[in-house]
Amino acid sequence: MTLRSFLETVKDPDLRLVLGSIADASAAISGVLRNHVGGTVVASSPVRNRFGDEQLTEDRQADALVRRHLLATPCVSCLSSEEDPSEQPGPGGTFAVAYDPLDGSSVLDSNFSVGSIFGVWRTAKELIGCRGHDLVAAVLTLYGPRLILVVAVHQSQQTVGDHGAVAFQFVESSAPQWHQIRQWSRDALRNSRASLFAPGNLRATQEISAYDQLVRYWIESRYTLRYSGAMAADVYQLLAKEQGIFCNPSQPGKARLRLVYEALPLAFLVEAVGGKSSDGSRGCSSLLERSITALTERTPVVLGSPSEVDHYIDIMNA
């Protein structure tokens, strides 16, 4: 199956257009990353975004490509980028798109895999006030040895089957096209037993004794450490292996991951295949319960096999 044929199974024709534009933008970003010419892969600059992160040339190029494709899509009511956390009006319609155009760009110079993250909400007005549960689709693009696009669409928008998520690989030829390479059911991660862990913010083990205890548990239980520093790639491996845990707790002070641009779309994707998401607190049964109160909001994140996420919550709140 191709991406084109998959999109034909999505009920709302406007949502098909939005997802198609995201795929086109992803292919364009891949071209920028692969065809960069210079002594290093990354050309740094002193510019910083509103989160305080350094913006690389590739960050700005990726953002411009996504913005251009979405603004050319007539059913996009508004869009918001991590590189500029404000709401920009779109041409019209009912879909709002929040995105991280180039997740993990700090590891580009090491030639590690990086990605793009997209969340699609049905709203005619704005993202503020929307919940994670209001998402109708999420997309994760991975720029690695292969260009891969993972799409999860809400059950209410599916006309054929009941897919949790579907992955496509971009195949370059005389007629470039996205071809399906994998499909996950809605129970793919539900009963999985984890054997790999991706622990973000390891420095926090020096200040959070419970996190130090968890990391020691994973090591002593002979889990495999798989952490690259690019959330998109680290979460994709949970899907590829159909098990595992990704976490990034907050140290005393500010959390690191962005609720709107990273956490909510990836939580939607993981939960779509039977996984679990949380901010690590005892009262949070799902990140998707969270409402957007500010576009700059950050949050601790834990994603993965449900039993592993539950264990994480138990230890962190003991």
The pLDDT tens digits of the residues spanning 193-203 come to 999 999 999 99
Give me the pLDDT at residue 54, please. Answer: 74
Residues 255, 299 contacting (CB under 8 angstroms): yes
Q: 40: pLDDT confidence band, cut at 50, 70 and 90?
A: very low
Give residue for tokens 């991406």. 3
Contacts of 217 (CB under 8 A, 6+ apart): 315
Give me the pLDDT at residue 275, please. Answer: 98
pLDDT mean over 275-301: 97
* CA nearest to 300, candidates 237, 252, 230: 252
Domains of the chain (ranges, CATH numbers): 3-185 (3.30.540.10), 196-316 (3.40.190.80)
Reply yes or no on whether the pLDDT at 48 is more than 90: no
One DSSP character per residue, 29-86 reads HHHHHHT--SSSS----S-B-TTSPBPPHHHHHHHHHHHHHHHT-TTEEEEEETTEEE
Reply yes or no on whether the pLDDT at 314 is more than 50: yes
Give me the pLDDT at residue 195, please. Answer: 96
φ/ψ of 294, rounded to 5, equals: -155, 140
Q: 14: pLDDT confidence band, cut at 50, 70 and 90?
A: very high
Give residue for tokens 């990354």. 42
Q: Which residue spans within 135-266 are E strands per DSSP?
A: 135-143, 147-153, 165-171, 177-184, 196-199, 224-225, 245-248, 257-258
pLDDT mean over 28-50: 68
How much of the chain, in percent, has pLDDT values that exceed 70? 94
Give me the pLDDT at residue 38, please. Answer: 53
Residue 122, Cα to own-chain centre: how many angstroms? 18
SS3 assignment for 220-248: HCCCEECCCCCHHHHHHHHHHHCCCEEEE
Q: 46: pLDDT confidence band, cut at 50, 70 and 90?
A: low
Q: 39: pLDDT confidence band, cut at 50, 70 and 90?
A: very low
The pLDDT tens digits of the residues spanning 81-109 come to 999 999 999 999 999 999 999 999 989 98
Residues 22, 69 contacting (CB under 8 angstroms): yes
pLDDT mean over 151-178: 91
